[in-house]
Chain A
Amino acid sequence: MSTRRSRSRQSASNSRITDDQINDLVSKLHQLLPEIRNSHSDKVSAAKVLQETCNYIRSLHREVDDLSERLSELLATTDNAQAAVIRSLLMQ
């Protein structure tokens, strides 16, 4: 409801940004989101897309966090020979 109003307020403050540009960028973001990308409805508000984007970024940050922890534990038990193998496998 307030979306359109807020958006035009934003574009008024910067005359080079148009609503079309914003819509375009929002739909690009929409496609990157795992949750609503696969949902049946096409009618997701721009605000909802941004909200889901924030949630998604937070979940990715958490994943990086957890993986860092896991790697730290794993590093305690691996040696350099193993690391060389991993490097060569990943670089293939």
Chain B
Amino acid sequence: MNNPHHLNPTSLKSRFTTRFLRALTKIRAQKPISSSSPTEIFRRYRRIKVAADKSMAYSVRSRRIWSRAMLWKLRSRSYRRQDPCSGRRSGKTNQAIMKKSSNGNITRRREDGVGFVEEADELRQLVPGGETMNLCNLLDETAHYIKCLTTQVQVMKKIADFYSF
């Protein structure tokens, strides 16, 4: 297991900010004439989402299992047409499934009280590369991944606030 304290949040934040802003500039530079059409906004939204993940994973580099898994996923994805439901956002899909199967196993289990192994398996689906981690790695990587996600949200919020100014 890696040293959990090697991450300097400030520098990670600035690395992410630099990369993400660079990506945004690129995305905006490619804007067509009607950049506010719904189709264009949706296309750009998808590109921004990928850019946010890419910038995050590249800022962490290959020092973490989750960032390696995410970079690998993003690289292999860029060769095919993007599927809006693929990759990290599967969390959303899982939730939709959970809601749908209100009589299914998930809800029943929740009502009976939560099981550690079941929850760990759910976590594996949410953390990139989680499927192949041992329990120790999974918990350690999750902690790091959460820190990075909160940084990502913070920075994106800040940028959005500046833009709407």
Contacts and interface: CB of A to CB of B under 8 A. Distances in A.
Interface string B138-160: 01101101110110110111111
B163 A74 contact: yes
Contact of A22 (B89, B139, B163): B139
B109 to A, nearest CB: 10
Interface in B109-123: 113-120, 122-123
B11 interface: no
B154 to A, nearest CB: 10
Contacts of A71: 24, 45, 48, 156, 159-160, 163
A87 B158 CA distance: 11
Grouping DSSP codes into helix (H, G, I), strand (E, B) and loop, the B interface class, with mixed when no group exceeds half, is helix
Interface string B40-53: 11101110110010
Given A67-B157, A82-B163, A17 B92 contact: no
Contacts of B89: 61, 65
Contacts of A74: 160, 163-164
B57 interface: no
A52 to B, nearest CB: 9
A8 to B, nearest CB: 11
A67 B119 contact: no
Contact of B21 (A6, A22, A57, A90): A90
Given A28-B143, A69-B41, A75-B44, 20 more contacts: A2-B115, A2-B116, A10-B135, A26-B139, A28-B4, A32-B143, A51-B122, A54-B123, A54-B126, A57-B149, A64-B149, A64-B156, A67-B160, A68-B52, A71-B48, A71-B159, A75-B27, A83-B28, A91-B14, A91-B18
Interface of A: 1-3, 6-7, 9-11, 14, 17, 21-22, 25-26, 28-29, 32, 45-48, 50-51, 53-54, 56-58, 60-65, 67-78, 80, 82-83, 85-87, 89-91
26 contacts: A6-B116, A14-B134, A17-B135, A22-B135, A29-B139, A29-B142, A32-B146, A46-B116, A50-B114, A54-B126, A57-B123, A63-B153, A64-B152, A64-B153, A65-B49, A67-B157, A68-B46, A69-B41, A72-B42, A74-B164, A76-B35, A76-B41, A76-B44, A80-B28, A86-B21, A91-B18
